[in-house]
């Protein structure tokens, strides 16, 4: 159903969104990830959204039908149509969001892919071409939503599995939530399994810096970990490489899973929701992993969900004391 022209709003000046990524994956695979339903379902939509319905006819004139689902269970229908397909370097398509009253907004998207040294340089251009009054929240979140989607695409074409993500909204200001993630004093109050005590916490908070920590378990056993910071953007984002470690800071295997990836790429974002609330999103993916290690990670999603729930519960309780 098309929007009634009388109900269209004058779109405020929204610059063309131009987003560039370099993926460690062949161009042919990245191109397929834009066309085939089994690939699209793994990465389309913002972080922590899933796609219980994903239908795509990847040819000129073919239609796109995706129903995205948020972590609260709410569903967001998304339709579309492929226009031009010049495999494997270029494609264009239109997408639109809908609600019970009809079409809310429409975008025109151009995807350009160049292969260099076995990697793929991708440029995505998004233009908003139609909007209704009901589209304002969608328009406000366009850039963030597309960047999150493309981050998920990058993780998917690198590893062949969807990104693992969890999210929680905390009733605490963003600056505070960021601080308790980056100050060893605060981390010692909530980070780690229940009943553990911190025996070491050395942090150098800067790109290239490390956080080396040790925990003593209730049975007396020790567990060590190391983080290497890649990006520190206060109070918005942390990107780091997470590994199990020894007391000297060397990388070691998971003490209970010999085929767990040696390195994990972890991205944490802190979104200010207003009113003193902060949305925290944590995403993990295997880094430089073997197929066996990737499979071990993929099969451990249920356990990671449970582990993060406990950790975020502890964080929520600690924030309430501050």
Q: Mind listing the domains of the chain with CATH numbers?
A: 5-160 (3.30.530.20), 166-319 (3.30.530.20)
User: Which pLDDT belongs to residue 68?
Assistant: 94
Whether 28 shows a pLDDT value over 50: the answer reads yes
Question: Per-residue pLDDT tens for 290-314?
Answer: 999 999 999 999 999 998 999 999 9
Helix (H, G, I), strand (E, B) or coil at 205: coil
- The residue written with tokens 């929007």 in the block is 3
User: Is the pLDDT at 43 greater than 90, yes or no?
Assistant: yes
Contact 110, 125 (CB under 8 A): yes
Here the tokens at position 14 are 């929204």
Extended beta strands in the chain, E state:
17-23, 50-56, 63-69, 75-86, 90-99, 102-116, 119-131, 164-170, 197-203, 210-216, 222-233, 237-245, 251-252, 263-274, 277-287
CB 113 within 8 A of CB 28: no
What pLDDT is stored for residue 3 in this prediction?
Answer: 47
What is residue 12's predicted lDDT score, i.e. its pLDDT? 52
Predicted local distance difference test score (pLDDT) of residue 6 = 46
Instruction: Using pLDDT thresholds of 50, 70 and 90, give the confidence band for residue 316.
Output: very high
Would you say residue 320 has pLDDT above 50? yes
- pLDDT one-digit tens code per residue, 61-109: 999 999 999 888 899 999 999 999 999 999 999 999 888 888 889 999 9
> 213 near 224, Cβ under 8 Å?
yes
232 pLDDT above the threshold of 70: yes
pLDDT at 197 over 90: no
Burial category of 208 from C-beta neighbours within 10 Å (exposed 0-12, middle 13-18, buried 19 and up):
exposed
Q: Could you report the per-residue pLDDT of 171-190, keeping only the tens digit for each?
A: 999 999 999 999 999 999 99
Our CA dihedral for 135, 140, 146, 149, rounded to 10 degrees, sits at: -80
Give the pLDDT score at 11. 52
Query: The pTM is what?
Result: 0.85
> Can you tell me the distance from the alpha carbon of 282 to that of 274, in angstroms, rounded to the nearest whole number?
20
- What confidence score (pLDDT) does residue 14 get? 61
pLDDT in tens, 105-142: 999 999 999 999 989 999 999 999 888 888 887 888 88
In this prediction, residue 259 carries a pLDDT of 97
* 246-275: pLDDT as tens digits: 999 999 999 999 999 999 999 999 999 999
Calculate what percentage of the chain has a pLDDT beyond 70.
95
């Amino acid at each position: 159903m098309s929007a009634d022209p009388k109900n269209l709003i004058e779109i405020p000046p929204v610059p063309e969104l131009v987003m560039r990524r370099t993926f460690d994956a062949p161009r042919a695979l990245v191109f397929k990830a834009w066309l085939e339903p089994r690939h699209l379902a793994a990465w389309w939509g913002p972080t922590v959204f899933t796609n219980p319905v994903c239908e795509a006819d990847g040819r000129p004139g073919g239609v796109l039908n995706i129903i995205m689902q948020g972590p609260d269970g709410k569903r967001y229908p998304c339709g579309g149509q492929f226009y031009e397909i010049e495999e494997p370097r270029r494609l264009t398509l239109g997408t639109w969001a809908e609600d019970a009253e009809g079409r809310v907004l429409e975008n025109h998207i151009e995807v350009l892919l160049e292969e260099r040294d076995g990697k793929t340089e991708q440029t995505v251009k998004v233009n908003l071409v139609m909007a209704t009054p009901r589209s304002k929240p969608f328009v406000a979140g366009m850039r963030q939503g597309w960047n999150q989607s493309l981050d998920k695409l990058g993780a998917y074409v690198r590893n062949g599995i969807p990104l693992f993500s969890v999210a929680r909204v905390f009733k605490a200001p963003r600056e505070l939530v960021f601080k308790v993630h980056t100050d060893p004093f605060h981390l010692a109050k909530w980070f780690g399994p229940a009943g553990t005590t911190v025996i070491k916490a050395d942090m150098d908070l800067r790109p290239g810096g490390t956080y080396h920590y040790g925990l003593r378990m209730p049975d007396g056993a020790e567990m060590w970990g190391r983080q290497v910071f890649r990006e520190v953007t206060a109070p918005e984002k942390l990107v780091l490489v997470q590994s199990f470690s020894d007391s000297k800071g060397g990388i070691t295997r998971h003490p209970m899973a010999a085929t767990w990836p040696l390195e994990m790429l972890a991205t944490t974002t802190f979104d200010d929701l207003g009113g003193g609330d902060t949305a925290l999103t944590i995403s993990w993916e295997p880094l430089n992993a073997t197929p066996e290690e990737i499979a071990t990670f993929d099969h451990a999603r249920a356990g990671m969900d449970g582990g993060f729930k406990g950790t975020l519960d502890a964080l929520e309780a600690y924030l309430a004391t501050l």
